[in-house]
Amino acid sequence: ARVDKAGHKHFMAKEIAEQPQVIGDAIKHYLGESGATITLPGEGLDFTKIDRLVMVACGTAYYACLTAKYWFEQLARIPVEVDVASEFRYREPPITPGTVALFVSQSGETADTLAALRYCTGKAEKIVSVVNAPESSIARESDIALPILAGTEIGVASTKAFSCQLTVLLVLALEAARQKGTLDAERYQSLVSALRALPSVFGGALDRNAVAETLSLQLAEAQDILFLGRGVMYPLALEGALKMKEISYIHAEAYASGELKHGPIALIDKHVPVVVMAPRDGLFDKTVSNMQEVMARGGRVLLISDSKGLEEAGEGIWRAIEMPRVDPVLSPILYALPAQLMAYHTAVAKGTDVDQPRNLAKSVTVE
């Protein structure tokens, strides 16, 4: 079926707005209408027999994997390695029998990811993929293919596929935790409930579009933008920077907040906006002290946090986007939204071709 922009100026805007719906579709598909039982296709996966998870992808899908590493390790206590497909495939990494190899790809046709999958075939315990295209090569060549149900994504810069990839990966990490008994029943249930509530929280946050549009007029003036995050928000900072450079052509870089003083702090001056993605979680105080180091050097901090975080952050913040409060485990899915909105509006302000950025392809089927 032909997909149109449904009244939006760009496919990207439409796909950003669709997220509450498609995240909800993915949650319903895996969690079932009534109970908290997570259903996986076929014979499923026995996580009690898995020693190691190896996750491989490219681009935005790679950042979804990096995020999921925090979930699988913290919630399910499974050691995880993550790599970009183009490095993984030529490194000849040893794949031991207790290893599950997991590939994340929107198109299911990315050449390097497919080659990495073929490298693992016959070596790994199971080949699992998380894909948007269920008929794709990557899906077909997997033992278990988990659809993300995002629907057709036209914008070259991935938005709804990313949030749906994260959703499915979190479901999988929760299922692993349930099987292994690494979370107490109450914590497990509270995360399942938080996940169920996420589409409506996400929907409620779509109105941050207005503040993102206003502050993007100033971001569009920048030569360089720095993104900082800590813990599970670090991969999201990477994704925010990728999105920004892909469509606005502004040089953007992401760092783990704690690495700031090991290099990027040398770049800080009043011309470099520093986007700090920091919900009020257990690591917030540490991020605040990194933020103060930025402000002490004249840096302009754009803080994306919840009401509690903004209250505790103190004086001197340049701009803020207030997000609803969610369980910190889920924050990367929700905070994908402001990252997307900033990139989108900055690109619109610069007049670039948002849906078809120069030099980029939606699906990279050659090396």
Alpha helix (H) residue ranges in the chain: 11-17, 19-31, 59-76, 85-91, 111-120, 137-140, 160-180, 185-205, 209-219, 234-248, 284-296, 307-312, 331-350
Q: Which is nearer to ligand G6P, 146 or 157 (CB)?
A: 157
Contact status: 110 vs ligand G6P (CB under 6 A): yes
Beta carbon of residue 14, minimum distance to ligand G6P (angstroms, whole number): 16
C-alpha to C-alpha distance for 126 and 97, rounded to whole angstroms: 9
The tokens of 96 are what? 């031991």
Query: Which segment (5-13, 105-113, 278-286, 296-304) binds ligand G6P by CB under 6 A?
Result: 105-113
Q: Which is nearer to ligand G6P, 292 or 363 (CB)?
A: 363
Contact status: 164 vs ligand G6P (CB under 6 A): no
Among 32, 298, 360, 365, binds ligand G6P (CB under 6 A): 360
> 360 vs 102, 123, 164, CA distance in Å?
25, 33, 22
Contact 71, 98 (CB under 8 A): no
Among 55, 156, 195, 250, binds ligand G6P (CB under 6 A): 156
Query: Which segment (39-47, 278-286, 323-331, 359-367) binds ligand G6P by CB under 6 A?
Result: 359-367
Residue 131's contacts (CB-CB under 8 Å, 6 or more residues apart) are 104, 105, 106, 107, 108, 138, 139, 145, 146, 147, 148
Contact status: 111 vs ligand G6P (CB under 6 A): no
| Interacting residues with ligand G6P between 36 and 65 (CB under 6 A) | 58-61
49 is catalytic: no
Give the closest residue to 286 by CA, choosing from 313, 262, 265, 253.
313
Beta bridge partners of 226: 253, 274
Site string for ligand G6P, 1-40 (x = CB under 6 A): ----------------------------------------
Query: Which segment (1-9, 92-100, 154-162, 205-213) binds ligand G6P by CB under 6 A?
Result: 154-162
Query: Which segment (24-32, 103-111, 178-186, 199-207) binds ligand G6P by CB under 6 A?
Result: 103-111
Among 106, 142, 290, 340, binds ligand G6P (CB under 6 A): 106
> 196 vs 25, 34, 35, 64, 338, CA distance in Å?
11, 11, 11, 20, 21
Taking the alpha carbons at both ends of the chain, their separation in whole angstroms is 30
Contact status: 158 vs ligand G6P (CB under 6 A): yes
The active-site residue out of 5, 245, 286, 362 is: 362
Contact status: 159 vs ligand G6P (CB under 6 A): no
> What angle do helix axes 331-350 and 160-180 make, rounded to 10 degrees?
170
The residues that touch ligand G6P, with contacts defined as CB under 6 A, are: 58-61, 105-107, 110, 113, 156-158, 360, 362-364
Enzyme catalytic residues? 362
